[in-house]
């Protein structure tokens, strides 16, 4: 019996060490979010949804602004619309000693809306229970909290992802989520068509949320304690822009008023949507993301 217990204990210890070893392989290849919960506290942030996560490249912005600290802490519409969960996560990510940071706050009608008849019902916010609310420690490397409770793939992918030289989805050390997909014309058209159908189906459910709007303002005011805040609306292709505007007709005017009230500036990049290339009509392709990132940085530098 004693020998059996020893054997079980040794096996359990070996299994535990093997599991820890596999989980420790997780990095920017593992998924589009994990690496953002392993980086240290930051002094300058890009925040928003997947349009910012995929579109805005801190390396380019840092070069233009002669900085090294801008970090992309954007996720997805389902995880990081403006609300209490995202604000608390941002508070955990910010270095409390930061005083001269740059904060690029990206906005669109969806990030200030909810898909319920009562869009102000905090209990029904889509991000509740997801990693943006659930992860208590956003600066641990490795982050076992994320891997155990919120990693979306099978753990074998932590090994196989290491074998790919170019992954479809890769998070850089500065938080930028690089998406590598085919940009052949016929494939992009098919992708746009599918995305349009998805958005058109869900569009009637979106309603502007005054509560989300108030948390956007709270987020801005919190970040102002640590540096300068810049409000930005990113470009999307024309059909997606029309859908966005149908959710909230006076959105740009509301953002302009918000910027005046909080003594910040607002940059609207939706006026010339055909200037840029999109992977699916809604997200900037990385080459256009580089152009937009430089444009935003030069705008900030000129102020």
Domain limits of the chain?
Answer: 44-135+167-301
pLDDT of residue 159: 72
User: Given a cut of 60, is residue 18 above it in pLDDT?
Assistant: no
Cα–Cα dist 159/51, whole Å: 28
SS3 96: coil
Q: pLDDT tens across 224-264, in order? A: 999 999 999 999 999 999 999 999 989 999 999 999 999 99
From CA 101, how far away is CA 97, in angstroms rounded? 10
**Tens-place pLDDT, residues 43-92:** 999 999 999 999 999 999 999 999 999 999 999 999 999 999 999 999 99
Cis before 142? omega within 30: yes
Q: What is the pLDDT of residue 1?
A: 56
For the cut 50, the answer to whether the pLDDT of residue 14 exceeds it is: no
pLDDT of residue 155: 76
Reference 27, options 181, 131, 133, 146; nearest CA is 146
Q: Taking 50 as the threshold, does the pLDDT of residue 218 lie above it? A: yes
For the chain, the average pLDDT equals 90
Q: Spell 272-285 as b/e; 16+ CB within 10 A means b.
A: ebeebebbbbbbbb
User: What pLDDT does residue 2 have?
Assistant: 56
Cα-based distances in Å from 50 to 22, 105, 298:
28, 13, 22
CATH code assigned to 44-135+167-301: 3.40.50.1110
Q: Is the pLDDT of residue 210 over 80?
A: yes
pLDDT exceeds 70 at position 117? yes
Are 59 and 174 within 8 A, CB to CB? Answer: yes
- pLDDT digit string (tens) for 152-175? 887 777 777 666 655 688 999 999
């Amino acid at each position: 019996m004693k020998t059996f217990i020893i054997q079980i204990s040794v096996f359990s210890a070996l299994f535990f060490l093997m599991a820890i070893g596999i989980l420790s392989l997780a990095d920017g290849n593992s998924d589009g979010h994990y690496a953002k919960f392993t980086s240290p506290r930051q002094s300058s942030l890009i925040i928003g949804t997947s349009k910012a996560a995929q579109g805005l490249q801190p390396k380019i912005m840092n070069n233009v602004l002669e900085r090294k600290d801008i970090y992309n802490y954007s996720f997805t519409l389902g995880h990081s619309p403006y609300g209490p969960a995202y604000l608390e996560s941002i508070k955990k990510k910010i270095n409390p000693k930061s005083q001269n940071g740059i904060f690029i706050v990206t906005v669109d009608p969806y990030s200030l809306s909810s898909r319920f008849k009562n869009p102000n019902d905090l209990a029904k916010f889509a991000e509740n229970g997801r990693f943006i609310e659930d992860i208590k420690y956003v600066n641990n490397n490795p982050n076992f909290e994320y891997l155990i409770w919120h990693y979306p793939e099978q753990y074998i992918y932590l090994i196989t992802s290491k074998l790919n030289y170019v992954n479809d989805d890769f998070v850089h050390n500065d938080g930028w989520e690089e998406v590598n997909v085919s940009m052949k014309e016929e494939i992009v058209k098919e992708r746009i068509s599918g995305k349009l159908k998805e958005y058109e189906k869900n569009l009637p459910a979106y309603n502007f949320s005054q509560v989300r709007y108030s948390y956007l303002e709270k987020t801005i005011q919190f970040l102002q304690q640590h540096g300068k805040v810049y409000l930005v609306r990113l470009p999307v292709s024309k059909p997606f822009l029309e859908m966005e505007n149908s959710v909230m007709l006076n959105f740009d005017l509301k953002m302009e008023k918000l910027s005046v009230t909080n003594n910040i500036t607002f940059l609207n990049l939706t006026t010339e949507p055909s200037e840029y290339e999109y992977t699916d009509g809604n997200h900037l392709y990385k080459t256009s993301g580089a152009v937009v990132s430089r444009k935003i940085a030069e705008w900030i530098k000129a102020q």
